[in-house]
Structure 1
Amino acid sequence: MTNKEKSDAEIIKELDSIIENGISIDYDTKPKYTVKELSKKLGLSSHTIRFYDKEHLFPFVKRDVSNDERLFSDADWAFGKLIKCLRQIGLSIHDCRLFILDTLIGDDTVKERLLILVNLQASLRKQIHELQEAERDLQYKIRFFSLTCDLLVGPKIQLGGFFHESKGRGSQTRAS
């Protein structure tokens, strides 16, 4: 069974097993950051940090039982940066979890991770192209409506509302 075919429960079980048995990759897993501190370092909300932790995306998070708070390491911070990037370009939680699992497995999965990143880059480039086209269309509409507005109304646009001359009376009326 490939990692892609694994269920979330199977992935989580394997992640936990790798962490419990120790990993060969050298990570600084010393707990240092609270949810609030990690949130600030990553530019993510505390709610998002807690959600990602519940989804097993921070492999090294520890619990301070006496204070009932999560403590994150520099390794978790590095994974957080990765997760933030992968989520911003549309990777699912499931696929982020797989990517983390593959990372913890180590060098045997480098080709799989490279393929994922190359495919994500192609997808991102397509999204950028589509957004650039949408922006051009939007710019056209803004120019069109700005010109139309100037011709119909003149320079009477003010903060707090849109004022225009009423036809035939010369008095101002407010349009919402």
Structure 2
Amino acid sequence: MTIGEISQEIGLSADTLRYYEKIGLLPNVPRDNSGKRNYDENFINWIKFIQTLKNSGMSLNDIIEYINLAKCGNNTYQERKNLLIKSKQILLEKMSNLQSMIEKANYQINNYDNILVPKTNALIF
């Protein structure tokens, strides 16, 4: 399967697939005689696995670490789980920050006429 074909099937750009290979997220993709990448079902499974971890909030660096740990065997079970826990904590922090921003936006909307309009007018006029 060519990079274009797998790109279309998976929904990732060819550039993203090349980048994943370059940074070590994907194993080296075999190439045909003309040098074109030749993906097989195993690579589709790799990409779907990467997407699963990415969709849970993991960074690409953490996914690389997770994969490297997994290659070391089951004795890295807890370390891999800790990466997932770390990703969840980061998401919770982001969610908290977003909630705080929403509250500030609500305050500004609710007090628009009394606070923001006078401040805006003082700066502009």
| TM-score tier (shorter) | 0.5 to 0.7
**Per-residue deviation, 1:77:** 2.6
What are structure 1's unaligned runs of at least 5 residues? 1-32, 153-176
Amino acid corresponding to residue 120 of structure 1 in structure 2? S
- Alignment check: 8 A CA contact 1:63 1:69 kept: yes
Aligned pairs, number: 113
Instruction: Please identify, of 40-49 and 115-124, the stretch whose mean Cα deviation from structure 2 is larger.
Output: 40-49
**Per-residue deviation, 1:51:** 1.0
CA root-mean-square deviation:
2.8
- Tell me how far apart the structure 1 counterparts of residues 109 and 2 of structure 2 sit (CA, whole Å): 45
Match of 1:133 in 2: 100
Q: Alpha carbons of 1:73 and 1:112: their partners in 2 closer, same or farther (altered >3 Å)?
A: farther
**Aligned residues: percent identity?**
28
**Per-residue deviation, 1:47:** 0.9
Residue 31 of structure 2 corresponds to residue 63 of structure 1: yes
Question: What is the TM-score normalised by the length of structure 1?
Answer: 0.51
Residue 14 of structure 2 corresponds to residue 46 of structure 1: yes
Counting helix residues as a fraction of each chain, which structure ranks higher?
Answer: 2
What are structure 2's unaligned runs of at least 5 residues? 118-125
- Alignment check: 8 A CA contact 1:58 1:80 kept: yes
Counting strand residues as a fraction of each chain, which structure ranks higher?
Answer: 1
Question: What is the TM-score normalised by the length of structure 2?
Answer: 0.67
Bigger Rg over Cα: 1
